[in-house]
């Protein structure tokens, strides 16, 4: 458990550093950002593997809720995040998302590439809610497979650099809603909430890692989920899409396959499985349910 907390803290700090490097004098330092991204990757691996173990344990013991540390409320984070919704985190996330995935051993988010090669200021991201509705609309017509495959990685059809992470997060939930029967949705949400580790007191960095907290519907029924690090969780999943090449056994070569043209359009069920595979740590829990 301590590893998870530590890993989470290190991830927050790393993201803060990547952010700050963009405004530093002299331009982005490639070396330092590469090292920071390596740390971020290591921390994320520990974080996810720790979570994965925790979830397995929970699944086995049928224990659905973990106690939350007091004092961390999602609402307060949401308030804080409101003002920051359009700021850096979107830039960070959006730049990361523009990285065409996933080759193994590619720790450097595309933001560095963008920044070093052609650092135009990132276009102000649109409101996430709007994006979500676009996503939903697109979902209606688009090939479900393509989306599912794209969820693990970057939507190949998206050319705009300022694709907020909210979109992907929204879509993950919605596609799951669509594809699966309702019950898995709440476990999914529950598991998401369970995944949220104790946030550290490093508020400045945690707020910079906010993403689409507003997108998540408030937790249902469960009186214990006050805390939030859904922000970091979202970021993790987003980074997961960029770093999935580094995940090794978690998202193997099937992912690039999913990125590219699907050989046969899978049914909704298989599609969901693919999505779940991409949301690696949650897959086992959902299967258990």
For another protein, the binding residues (CB under 8 A) are 6-7, 10, 13, 17, 25-27, 29-32, 34-35, 38-39, 42-43, 46, 99-100, 103, 105-110, 112-113, 116-121, 242
**HSE-up of residue 206 (Cα within 13 Å, Cβ side):** 25
**21 or 66: whose CB is closer to another protein?**
21
* Distance separating alpha carbons of residues 195 and 283, to the nearest angstrom: 13
* Distance separating alpha carbons of residues 97 and 153, to the nearest angstrom: 8
Helix (H, G, I), strand (E, B) or coil at 68: coil
**43 or 213: whose CB is closer to another protein?**
43
> Which residues neighbour 106 within 8 Å (Cβ) at sequence distance 6 or greater?
99, 243, 245, 246
Give the nearest distance from C-beta 143 to another protein in angstroms: 26
Per the CB < 8 A criterion, the answer to whether 176 and 185 are in contact is yes
Give the nearest distance from C-beta 152 to another protein in angstroms: 16
**66 or 163: whose CB is closer to another protein?**
163
Give the nearest distance from C-beta 40 to another protein in angstroms: 9
Give the nearest distance from C-beta 106 to another protein in angstroms: 4
**200 or 284: whose CB is closer to another protein?**
200
**7 or 74: whose CB is closer to another protein?**
7
**108 or 216: whose CB is closer to another protein?**
108
Give the nearest distance from C-beta 240 to another protein in angstroms: 14
* Distance separating alpha carbons of residues 149 and 156, to the nearest angstrom: 9
Helix (H, G, I), strand (E, B) or coil at 277: helix
Distances (CA, A) of 112 to 26, 60, 200: 14, 42, 27
Per the CB < 8 A criterion, the answer to whether 64 and 225 are in contact is no
Give the nearest distance from C-beta 6 to another protein in angstroms: 8
């Amino acid at each position: 458990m301590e590893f998870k907390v530590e890993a989470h803290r290190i991830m927050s700090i790393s993201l803060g550093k990547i952010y700050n490097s963009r405004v530093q004098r002299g331009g982005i330092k490639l070396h330092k950002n590469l090292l920071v991204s390596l740390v971020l990757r290591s921390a994320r691996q520990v974080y996810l593997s720790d979570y994965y173990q925790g979830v397995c344990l929970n699944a086995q013991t049928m224990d659905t809720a973990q106690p939350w540390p007091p004092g961390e409320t999602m609402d307060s984070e949401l308030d804080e995040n409101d003002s920051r919704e359009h700021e850096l985190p979107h830039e960070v996330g959006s730049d990361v998302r523009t990285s065409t995935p996933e080759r193994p051993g590619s720790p450097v988010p595309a933001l560095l590439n963008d920044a070093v090669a052609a650092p135009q200021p990132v276009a102000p991201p649109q409101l996430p809610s709007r994006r979500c509705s676009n996503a939903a609309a697109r979902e209606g017509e688009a090939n479900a497979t393509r989306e599912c495959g794209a969820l693990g990685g970057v939507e190949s059809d998206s050319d705009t650099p300022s694709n907020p992470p909210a979109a992907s997060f929204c879509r993950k939930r919605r596609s799951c809603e669509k594809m699966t029967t309702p019950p898995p949705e709440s476990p999914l949400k529950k598991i998401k909430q369970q995944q949220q580790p104790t946030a550290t007191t490093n508020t400045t960095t945690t707020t910079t890692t906010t993403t689409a907290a507003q997108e998540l519907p408030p937790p249902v029924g469960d009186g214990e989920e006050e805390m939030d690090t859904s922000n970091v969780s979202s970021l993790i999943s987003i980074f997961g899409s960029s770093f999935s090449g580094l995940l090794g056994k978690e998202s193997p070569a099937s992912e690039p396959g999913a990125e590219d043209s699907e050989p046969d359009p899978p049914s909704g069920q298989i599609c969901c499985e693919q999505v779940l595979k991409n949301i690696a740590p949650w897959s086992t829990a959902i299967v258990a349910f």
